[in-house]
Amino acid sequence: MSYVTTQPQVIADAAASLAQIRSAMASASAAAASPTTSLLAAAQDEVSAAAAALFGSYAQEYQAVVSQASLFHDEFVRALTGAGNAYAVAEATNAAPALLADPFVALIMQGSGISIPTVPYMKSVEPYIRHLFGTPADLIPLTTPEGLYPLTQIKDLPLNQSVSTGVQILDNALYGPQGLISQQHLNVNVLGLSQSAVITSLEMRHLASLGSPNTNNLSFTLLGNPMNPNGGLMSRFAGLQLPSIGLDFYGAMPTHTGYQSNTYSFIYDGYADFPKYPINLLADINAFAGIQYVHGNYPDLDPAHLPTGYQLVHLPTTDPNNNFYMITYSNLPILEPLRALPILGNPLADLIQPDLTYLINLGYGDPHYGYSLGYADVATPFGLLPSVDPVSFAGDMVTGAQQGVGAFVSDISAMSAPSPAGPGGLLGSLTSTFSSGGTGGTGGPSLLPSLSLNFSPDNFIHTLKTLNTDITNTITNTSANLYAIGLPTADIANAVLTTLPSYNLNLFLDGVQQVVDGDPVGGLSYAFGAPIAADTALLTLAGGFELNVLLNAIGEIAGGD
């Protein structure tokens, strides 16, 4: 590959242009179909009829040729896109062994809610380091606060305080009195996941401000980074601050710093792959579902050996030192609750998934991709509306409906009727239930202390004391959990009622500034459209966070914690 010169982004741009040509061909063919294939004879004589038949025959042959050309065009676009991606991945893979040729250690942090990285966790994320950097000589855990009030715990550190402390800890681990680089002179790869990816990104920003020292000794691996330049939640709404819950949107991670970095994201991960056009409510809800169902799955995968149905897409960048990868799969997070329903859940999800995927992907721009196709290392804020071709939209929706029906029929055909439980099974189930005190056979503890058959005044008094203590503790814990809901709920409401209107006003003024600068149409569109788009996304997230708080509180009450 050293003797091959190409530009994957140019190939991607060419593929996009070809896709537009395909839409133009389809529109022209559809417009020409009726007037050419339904040509009427100019008169009733045989010559006119023969001429009409001749031109009609040519028109039908034209439609057949256009159909074949369209199929060839689609295959060529797919081949061109695949060639660009394949070249980019191969080039990065071949170049990777030179990034950290000397032995190096991995400094590993975990995500929100888990301060101390465990050995199983470090081994589970090591494949992301091995993918391009090679095998580290040692895995070193780094303890960081990892607080994310109110999602981790009610009385936990807010994100901004947790991240600020984490950056200090990471910098000290690298350059402090016992720093791995400054004192021990080691080559280090720093791995950050989720919140610790934010910590890593801010440390990279700090080092860049110092002139990027030790670029030959320090590299980075980031997983599920909310500061992804093109897709990260904190980059989409850069500069937004929610003081009531301690949430700062830090903007995009730095690039062109001289440091080698590899970033991996899941498609539809709401933290790392947030919609570019958040006015698409379906895309926003799906992104929040991705936070719940997708964001925690990074340790479960090896990017070099992905399961069937998964793909590793190397995204285009402007800096060869920064690699960005998107891990794609077929299912939508928003449909996971439906798939969890017995019997018909999965068939129904497969029925609506093709068209729903198309509608959700419009939130990212191109309806055929669940991520933005722009440069991955270029900071990309949220936009207003994607460009939609009505002809392509209608055709793709029809195709998606056909695919959904086919998948539904296939799922139903593959289902086997469940065998009904016999009388013995029902009797056994009932016996198990009642014998376990109604706990479903789990043998769970009774709410009341057990009474001994050997009755005595001392035992009776002890039983009353135990009962009194248990009841009091239950009431106290339940009350604490109930009023604990009030604080985060009030803080979230505070953000919605005070900070969000202020953010909307700033967006409006940005649009006014565009008008003043000579762009009246774009400025007015932004002034009135940007607040609506931002509110659609941020209110969805606020509602999701509140739902998370309520579910956690209910779980603690039910668990007796």
- 3-class DSSP state of 256: coil
C-alpha neighbours within 13 Å on the C-beta side of residue 15 = 20
b/e burial code for range 21-32 (CB count within 10 A of at least 16 → b): ebeeebeebeee
Encoded amino acid at 448, one letter: L
Encoded amino acid at 235, one letter: S
Neighbours of 538 (CB within 10 A): 21
Phi, psi of 433 (to 5 degrees): -65, -50
Cα 372 to the center of its chain, rounded Å: 12
Given the residues 2, 115, 162, 194, the one annotated as active site: 194
Nearest residue to 380 (alpha-carbon basis) of 368, 365, 361:
365
Nearest residue to 187 (alpha-carbon basis) of 260, 87, 250, 294:
260
To the query of whether residue 194 is one of the catalytic residues in this protein, the response is yes
Phi, psi of 524 (to 5 degrees): -65, -40
Give me the residue label for tokens 């465990």.
118
Phi, psi of 104 (to 5 degrees): -140, 160
Phi, psi of 279 (to 5 degrees): -65, -15
Distance CA 381, CA 374 (A): 12
Paired tokens of 241: 């601050």
Task: Judge contact between 365 and 276, C-beta under 8 A.
Answer: yes
Task: Judge contact between 245 and 388, C-beta under 8 A.
Answer: no
Neighbours of 345 (CB within 10 A): 15
Give me the residue label for tokens 């933005």.
372
What's 312-347 look like in SS3?
EEECCCCCCCEEEEEEECCCCHHHHHHHCCCCCHHH
**Strand locations in 68-226 (E):** 104-108, 138-141, 187-193, 218-223
- 3-class DSSP state of 236: helix
- Secondary element (H or E) of residue 161: helix 159-175
Distance CA 275, CA 252 (A): 15
Task: Judge contact between 9 and 17, C-beta under 8 A.
Answer: no
Paired tokens of 263: 């970033």
Residues involved in catalysis: 194
